[in-house]
Amino acid sequence: MLRINQLLLPVEHSKEELSGKVKKILRTDKEPEITVVRRSVDARKKPELYFNYVLNIKIDNQKEVYRRCDKKQVQICEERPYRFPVKDYHGRQRPVIIGSGPAGLFCAWMLAKAGFCPLVLERGKPVAERMQDVQKFWESGCLNTESNVQFGEGGAGTFSDGKLNTLVKDTYGRNREVLRLFVKAGAPEEILYDYKPHIGTDILCRVIENIRHAIEAAGGQIRFQALVADFKIKDGQIRGVILKGGEEIPADYVVLAPGHSARDTFFMLHQKQIHMEAKPFAVGMRVEHPQALINQAQYGRDRYPVLGNAPYKVTAKATDGRGVYSFCMCPGGYVVNASSEQGRLAVNGMSYSGRDGENANSAIIVSVSPKDYGSDGPLAGLEFQRRLEEKAYRLADGKLPVERYGDYRRSVLEEGPACEGKIPKGFSPCIKGEWAIAPVHEILPGELSKAFVEGMEHFGRIIPGFNDGNALVEGIESRTSSPVRIVRDESLQASVRGLYPCGEGAGYAGGIMSAAMDGIRVAEMLAEQIVIMENTGDKGETVYERK
């Protein structure tokens, strides 16, 4: 197979124009078979915009064609499809997986396809019922602490943008396999090659249901409203899990994929003396701008129907050395009340697949580390989060607090204009949930608020109008990633043997893709370990009767 890099075409091009450009590069009249590997937007000459392609090409007489090509743009490549290390398992061990976020679902899917018949325990509800609970909360403020934006089938990423980009280096093909499986479950094929792929909350909910059905069809089982309250441990080895209500489920292999908001689970692990440590993460605010302002900055025009609404990514360093950066940017999206505990408020961002809302929003977050938490211990970051969320809740009596950036800036720096004129004074928020004007600047500690403002002012020099006084600031964005890491060794096991921490909540991922990839990695390791142990005669204490 041949690989073509750096093929540029105007974004409005036709399939015939793409094929013609490929034949020109290959110096051939023969029709090639074209597979898009990567497609990104080149906006260096905006408002003239181009797609930059990486393509795989199959063509007759490849050697002769390649001989004539420019070797700087065309190379020979070889496809290496992903392979799970175990096939057709027929033993009697049944892994238990705690959590049905991306890590738990993809771990379960891989194990089920290999014959392990995993049991998934999810504290929340199936996604369709969960959507009803979330909508009720946004409309009435009535929070279900076990079925919300954080808890339930699909995990916290279900109510986001369904972003599938990751910075994780992937030499094993897990990234491509996750995307392939998403498409198999009903996601659009464009995610296989778009530089910044996304699914959208509306489509993602259907995809998650299809993944559940695929797991069940392959022999797995998913139980909802099954909160794991304790572990059964003997001689440093996991021997089972205990559900709220007292039911015991025997298991020698347990994957712990709880998500970053399972605070009660972290406290239980601490009580069981399972080795954990506090880790750095980031906190900040959601910031809203008119989507037309972002489109103009990124594409050179207010609207570009072929591309849809524009995303952005910005980074800076504050004078105290903290990183300040955008996170979970939602073009044409909504800011959502993402709370999961009574008396505490957290926000997130969400887009539907069309990304066709009036506003753009992103979290602008500031890095924090254990020295900021105010106490020692593995759960210090969790308590730090809770204090900030309690402040945010009190500001507007549980409604999502909103403040103009100009007011925020003046309160932090005691200087600066209210408005620089890029954003209309009447600009209003796109929010899921009740909201109210409140002094959002009071939530963060002073040094973090100052770093936030420094970042906003820097970003205003990159995207004109970003630091306009009429931009909207909403908080608090506190659930960017887990403040805890459940320590695991080279075999991916915790200090209790047979327990496999996994995904974002365990401290080993940061988004849908990296969590799903970690779920696959843990499934690989666990499957190999089970086979090795059975081949050496150690079959464990618990077995699963296949039916």
- Report DSSP letters for 472-534, one per residue: EEEEEE--SS-SEEE---TTS--SSBTEEE-TTTTTS-SSHHHHHHHHHHHHHHHHHHHHHHH
Residue type, 486: I
Scan for tokens 């709880």, then name that residue: 258
- Given this model, what pLDDT does residue 194 score? 94
Helical H segments across 257-344, by residue range: 263-271, 291-299
Q: How far apart are CA 284 and CA 451, in angstroms?
A: 10
Q: Is the pLDDT of residue 419 over 80?
A: no
- Given this model, what pLDDT does residue 13 score? 95
- Are 73 and 5 in contact by the 8 Å Cβ rule? The answer is yes
The two three-digit tokens of residue 60, written as one number: 């007759």
Peptide bond just before 476 cis, omega within 30 deg = yes
Residue type, 140: S
pTM of the model: 0.94
- Exposure of 125 by Cβ count < 10 A (0-12 exposed, 13-18 middle, 19+ buried)? buried
Q: Report DSSP state, residue 363.
A: E
Q: Is the pLDDT of residue 24 over 80?
A: yes
Q: Is the pLDDT of residue 364 over 90?
A: yes
Residue type, 64: E
Give the pLDDT confidence of 488-514 residue by residue, as tens digits: 999 999 999 999 999 999 999 999 999
Peptide bond just before 47 cis, omega within 30 deg = yes
- Given this model, what pLDDT does residue 146 score? 96
Interhelix angle for 446-462 vs 405-413, to 10°? Answer: 130
- Given this model, what pLDDT does residue 360 score? 98
Q: Is the pLDDT of residue 281 over 90?
A: yes
Scan for tokens 């009697």, then name that residue: 92
- Are 148 and 136 in contact by the 8 Å Cβ rule? The answer is no
Pairing of strands 400-404, 334-337: unpaired
3-state secondary structure of 255: strand
Q: Is the pLDDT of residue 176 over 60?
A: yes
- Exposure of 172 by Cβ count < 10 A (0-12 exposed, 13-18 middle, 19+ buried)? middle
Q: Which of 246, 268, 250, 248 is nearest to 258 (CA)?
A: 268
Q: Which of 293, 326, 327 is nearest to 310 (CA)?
A: 293
Give the pLDDT confidence of 230-244 residue by residue, as tens digits: 999 999 999 999 999
Q: How far apart are CA 361 and CA 144, in angstroms?
A: 26
Beta strands in 301-393 (DSSP E): 315-317, 323-330, 334-337, 347-350, 359-368
Q: Which of 45, 32, 37 is nearest to 7 (CA)?
A: 37
Phi then psi for 516, rounded to 5 degrees? -60, -40
- Are 163 and 198 in contact by the 8 Å Cβ rule? The answer is yes
- Are 254 and 96 in contact by the 8 Å Cβ rule? The answer is yes
Phi then psi for 242, rounded to 5 degrees? -120, 125
Q: How far apart are CA 114 and CA 417, in angstroms?
A: 62
User: Distance between the two ends of the chain, CA-based, in angstroms?
Assistant: 45
Give the pLDDT confidence of 282-341 residue by residue, as tens digits: 999 999 999 999 999 999 999 888 899 999 999 999 999 999 999 999 999 999 999 999
Q: Is the pLDDT of residue 539 over 70?
A: no
Give the pLDDT confidence of 186-237 residue by residue, as tens digits: 999 999 999 989 999 999 999 999 999 999 999 999 999 999 999 999 999 9
Scan for tokens 């929070």, then name that residue: 143
